[in-house]
Structure 1
Amino acid sequence: MTKSKVLFVVLLLVVGFMGCKQSKPIETIDVSELTIAAIHRAYQEGTYTSNQLVKAYLHRIEDIDSTINSITTINPKALDIANQLDKEYQKTGILRPLHGIPIIVKDNINTAGLPTTAGALALKDYIPDEDALIIKKLVEAGAILIAKSNMAEWAFSPMHTESSTAGTTRNPYNITYVPAGSSGGTAASVAANFGTIGLGTDTGNSIRGPSSHCALVGFRTTLGLVSRSAIVPLYLRNDVVGPMCRTVEDATKVLEVMVGYDPKDPITKNSQGKVPANYSEFLLNDGLVGARIGVLRELSDDDPHPEIKALFEKALYHLDSLGATVIDPVVIPDFSIVRQNQWCASFREDIEDFLANYVQSDSLKSIESIIRAGTNSDFARDRLERNAANNGRWENPEIPCLSAYKDSKRIAFREAIEKVMDSLKLDAIVYPSWNHPPARIDFYQQEYKGDNSQIISPHTGQPAFTVPMGYTNKNLPAGLQFLGRMYDEPTLIRLTYSYEQGTKHRRAPNLQ
């Protein structure tokens, strides 16, 4: 832990003890694997307060985060907010949906009064005056923003989590391995029990990859379901923000709060009329009974690591034993063709709009000014230069890039998949989130293999959820991914919850 983080934590603990006359010793609160429901029961039973819980999490961060380096900023107001929520509950006897639930937020999401750096030197002094809309919603629901988390600089890397502002984050299951990227700081911190719930962003992989590598549940929701305003973009046509949690139930409760139309993110208008009043009603133990699940062998059998292949085959067995009909294989006609030429580089346009609308600095207006600000990461430097030189379709610049919902290539890709899903009456398609285990940090580029998350949902806009699938012989987690139809989060919640409850793969890392 850096010197500034230690000072923050010490200050918070001192302030907290002064503000709470009868404080339960933080050592007696076991924060490992706590859920929203368990915390709310504790509040109702008087086992501990929000203030005491926040102290316990801060104590754990102070003790352990120096090992994995996942936290960038501690919120100095966290204990004050917890005190206010405790007083509110004492007065009303009512708990808000996320009342007193500590959340860790990726460092590219605007948070009032706290740095939002996207891991970059160019934004190291940027402190927003206002929360992003999704943060406002979470705070209104009672969540306590306890800390910001490290990320791959500018969200460029799906492979590892390295930033110029905070360095490299390590996988809590084995610190010589990556937690993937770019939301690796959120994944590592939530997996290590530094907070109850977390937020990440996903342009191609960055919620589901780190969640898979850290034995978490990660929701990449339908493009347009959740606002992305006041979030540092990568490629806005692909960007999604979503929950990264230890359970499907917690991720669902976070999602419920976040959804909805935002005039500052026009694509969310497409979600109107497509959001159920309550996502939690789909948390059904028998949710796989009668379901039809397709197996996309074109992904799962693409050079898989033998241990991941074995875990995937076991997952298919579990789906069957839990009541699903497994259709194996499912073939998407011309899959290798329709998936081509999907990536469009819009970083210049998107980041320059963000700088103009939010940062508003005379010295920071363009990608060139970002490059001049410098970077400590060779990987980020290369990606900045590539994005400065390219602003179109990566594989074939002659094919124009249209907006997310009007791009004919994206539409054709989505229709090819949904047509097969409709013809076979599939509820979802499954494949491993990664076909290979996490790479070693020192060899992350050479060992980066099998990232299936990049291939479909970022381009089609479809929702895709990952849940723990098991572990390799080296205790490295693997994830099972469920792909659904547009705005069919209710079905994915039902299926993933049933699979999670029927397998119980999630276990905490062995951290002292």
Structure 2
Amino acid sequence: MKKFVLPLLACLLFLTQIARGQSFKPAQLREATVSSLHEAMQNGNLTAVQLVQMYLDRIDAYDKQGPYLNTIIMVNPKALAEANRLDSIYKVTGKMVGPLHGIPVIVKDNYDTYDMPTTNGTLAMKKSIPPDDAFVVKRIREAGAIIIAKSNLAEFASSGQFSVSSILPGYSRNPYDMKRTTAGSSGGTAAAVAADFGAIGLGTDTGSSIRGPASHQSLVGFRPTLGLISRDGIAPLAMTNDTGGPICRTVEDAVRVLEVIAGHDKADTVTRQSEGKIPAGYRQFLDKNGLKGARIGVFRQLCTPKNSDPQVYALFNKALDELRAAGAIVIDSVRVPELDTINKSFDTIPQLRRDFNLYLANLGPNAPHKSLTSIIKSKQFHPYLEKTLLDANADTLAPEAHKGWKKNLALRARLRQLLLRAMDSTQVDVLVYPSFSYPPRLIGDLNTPSGTNNNALSPPTGFPAFSVPMGFTYDGLPAGLQFFGRPYSEPVLIKLCYAYEQATHHRRPPESTPPLPKKKNKSVIALR
């Protein structure tokens, strides 16, 4: 019998080494996509529990230590339990519960989560646990996603320039240069996704706050057509502009998220407009040759030598050459002469008081505050926000009762008409321009130009705009190229953005958050 023991032990050792060699390593987590993670799960090399733990290890190593990115408000204490539940289902059925099965998601902390606080970045809401999930959060959970953490934001989602809140001390920091801003208000989500704290992210965009952080962190950010995605359960800033959307490392992953979260929701009446306008799936439009024959309109009004950093301007012109090389017909340029006049003519009409009070009312009897007035009296918010809150709360008129309301609606309609006319007359599929005409600013710098182009076209029209990586300045600071389209033209934008991404592959991960060393596994691998 002894003569069989050594060969058997050798065989077991050999199989164990093979099993260990095939296991998913921390280095593979860097820039991992939904498809690559699912492939590893299907091959038996990765479980959802292992995946969540590797991301938690990175958060522990880099968010409040090391480069101290300061992006996470709260790690989900139930993330590993949810991952274990999903692993059990997969083990028994051999099937994934949905298209985001086991995928850890970074969720901006203005999305309601029934099992964790939703703070909107303000200390006054630290203990606010909503009665149910936001519509979008419910959708991603049903698709199998795991919320791994809630991320920092500009408090009340009030700034497109930086991400600082009263919940966390200090600013969220850009992983490409810790002295630089992440932009706002979804800067915490973007920096966390860029640093591989989760596979994908959810942000919100009122004026800039998906595309700005995406640009500053070399990511993909989708601001969809207003009405494509429900805002129910998202803490509001201005419902005329507010929308949610994905922030991801690749176009394909952003498309996967969009497929899950798009759709009509009776709790958000604006989504009625999307009925009949959503295709069976968006991944069918991922075409690496999609730029061939496409007509791209250059919107140089938002990027001139006078109002741009020379390096970003050079990157933009290089991007136009890259579009041409990929087969696009570049129309240089398309203009809307009235743009500046229109954008300067809008009246400022606060919507926060009415919209936020309604949001608080929907939080139920256990909400820590019942009104914006109560939050102001608590003094539990960042000092930079005080005047904004006081001014918004002092305006007791309903937004629609302001004299400028109808004028603003007319200006919006006029801008939509002019943009469509300009695009139709030149027969272009999209307009392109830099998401920012300047690199990320130093944290605390509010004097030099921010260079944001994000609020000029998409928010006032409600038309979709996607930002994709355009490259890096000579000192390694990211820049983004924005594709602006007609309403509900997401299929066109996806095709063109994906083709540009695949032709250029500009994104690279930040050096500040390298792969962690593999933990030594002292447990014996069970061979079955």
**TM-score using structure 1 length:** 0.91
State how 1:231-380 maps to structure 2 within 5 Å. 231-301=234-304, 303-342=307-346, 344-360=349-365, 364-380=369-385
> Which residue number corresponds to residue 77 of structure 2?
76
Amino acid aligned to 1:290: G
Task: Say if 1:91 and 1:455 are closer, same or farther in 2 by CA, change over 3 A.
Answer: same
Aligned length: 486
The SS at the match of 2:350 is: coil
CA contact (8 A) 2:23 2:45 kept: no
CA contact (8 A) 2:360 2:367 kept: no
Task: Say if 1:76 and 1:414 are closer, same or farther in 2 by CA, change over 3 A.
Answer: same
State how 1:166-245 maps to structure 2 within 5 Å. 166-167=168-169, 168-245=171-248
> Which residue number corresponds to residue 123 of structure 1?
125
Cα displacement string for residues 348-382 of structure 1 (whole angstroms, at most 9, x for unaligned residues)? 11001101112546872332222112145232112
Deviation of the 1:121 alpha carbon: 1.8
Amino acid aligned to 1:250: D
The SS at the match of 2:63 is: helix
Distance in 2 between the 1:363 and 1:282 partners? 45
Distance in 2 between the 1:370 and 1:502 partners? 49
Q: Which moved more, 1:491-500 or 1:373-382?
A: 373-382
The SS at the match of 2:178 is: coil
Residue 421 of structure 1 pairs with residue 412 of structure 2: no
Task: Say if 1:433 and 1:359 are closer, same or farther in 2 by CA, change over 3 A.
Answer: farther
State how 1:2-151 maps to structure 2 within 5 Å. 28=26, 30-66=28-64, 67-95=68-96, 96-151=98-153
> Which residue number corresponds to residue 158 of structure 2?
156
Q: Which moved more, 1:50-59 or 1:331-340?
A: 331-340
The SS at the match of 1:412 is: helix
Stretches of structure 2 that go unaligned for 5 or more consecutive residues are 1-19, 514-528
The SS at the match of 1:237 is: coil
Cα displacement string for residues 323-347 of structure 1 (whole angstroms, at most 9, x for unaligned residues)? 1111111111422223333454211
Deviation of the 1:215 alpha carbon: 0.5
Deviation of the 1:205 alpha carbon: 0.3
Amino acid aligned to 1:282: F
CA contact (8 A) 1:347 1:391 kept: no
The SS at the match of 1:243 is: strand
Amino acid aligned to 2:83: A
The SS at the match of 1:30 is: helix
The SS at the match of 1:193 is: coil
Deviation of the 1:28 alpha carbon: 4.5
Task: Say if 1:25 and 1:326 are closer, same or farther in 2 by CA, change over 3 A.
Answer: closer
CA contact (8 A) 2:161 2:450 kept: no
What RMSD in Å do the two structures reach over aligned CA positions? 2.1
Distance in 1 between the 2:248 and 2:32 partners? 11
> Which residue number corresponds to residue 400 of structure 1?
405
Larger Rg: 2
Distance in 1 between the 2:224 and 2:359 partners? 22
The SS at the match of 1:340 is: helix
Deviation of the 1:283 alpha carbon: 0.4
> Which residue number corresponds to residue 18 of structure 1?
none
Amino acid aligned to 2:322: H
Distance in 2 between the 1:267 and 1:143 partners? 26
Task: Say if 1:375 and 1:415 are closer, same or farther in 2 by CA, change over 3 A.
Answer: same
Distance in 1 between the 2:406 and 2:76 partners? 40
Cα displacement string for residues 47-87 of structure 1 (whole angstroms, at most 9, x for unaligned residues)? 11111010000011101111101011111111111111111
Task: Say if 1:363 and 1:218 are closer, same or farther in 2 by CA, change over 3 A.
Answer: closer
Q: Which moved more, 1:39-48 or 1:384-393?
A: 384-393
CA contact (8 A) 2:227 2:271 kept: yes
The SS at the match of 1:287 is: coil
Distance in 2 between the 1:341 and 1:169 partners? 33
Amino acid aligned to 1:48: L
Task: Say if 1:469 and 1:41 are closer, same or farther in 2 by CA, change over 3 A.
Answer: same
The SS at the match of 1:162 is: coil
Amino acid aligned to 1:485: R
Residue 495 of structure 1 pairs with residue 499 of structure 2: no
CA contact (8 A) 2:286 2:495 kept: yes
Amino acid aligned to 1:351: F
CA contact (8 A) 1:104 1:190 kept: yes
CA contact (8 A) 2:127 2:368 kept: no
Distance in 2 between the 1:478 and 1:391 partners? 41
Deviation of the 1:259 alpha carbon: 0.7
Distance in 2 between the 1:318 and 1:352 partners? 48
The SS at the match of 1:94 is: coil
CA contact (8 A) 1:346 1:391 kept: no
Task: Say if 1:384 and 1:280 are closer, same or farther in 2 by CA, change over 3 A.
Answer: same
Distance in 2 between the 1:221 and 1:150 partners? 22
- Deviating above 6 A after TM superposition, structure 1's stretches of 4 or more consecutive aligned residues are 24-27, 391-394
Task: Say if 1:391 and 1:298 are closer, same or farther in 2 by CA, change over 3 A.
Answer: farther
Distance in 1 between the 2:39 and 2:182 partners? 32
Distance in 1 between the 2:24 and 2:503 partners? 33
CA contact (8 A) 2:107 2:202 kept: yes
Deviation of the 1:471 alpha carbon: 0.8
Distance in 2 between the 1:26 and 1:482 partners? 36
Distance in 2 between the 1:493 and 1:27 partners? 31
CA contact (8 A) 1:288 1:494 kept: yes
Task: Say if 1:421 and 1:393 are closer, same or farther in 2 by CA, change over 3 A.
Answer: farther
Stretches of structure 1 that go unaligned for 5 or more consecutive residues are 1-21
Cα displacement string for residues 365-411 of structure 1 (whole angstroms, at most 9, x for unaligned residues)? 332222112145232112212322447899xx642258x9xx22211
Amino acid aligned to 2:31: E
Amino acid aligned to 1:349: R
> Which residue number corresponds to residue 519 of structure 2?
none
The SS at the match of 2:236 is: coil
**TM-score using structure 2 length:** 0.88
Question: Aligned to 1:381, which of 357, 361, 386?
Answer: 386
> Which residue number corresponds to residue 5 of structure 2?
none
Deviation of the 1:213 alpha carbon: 0.3
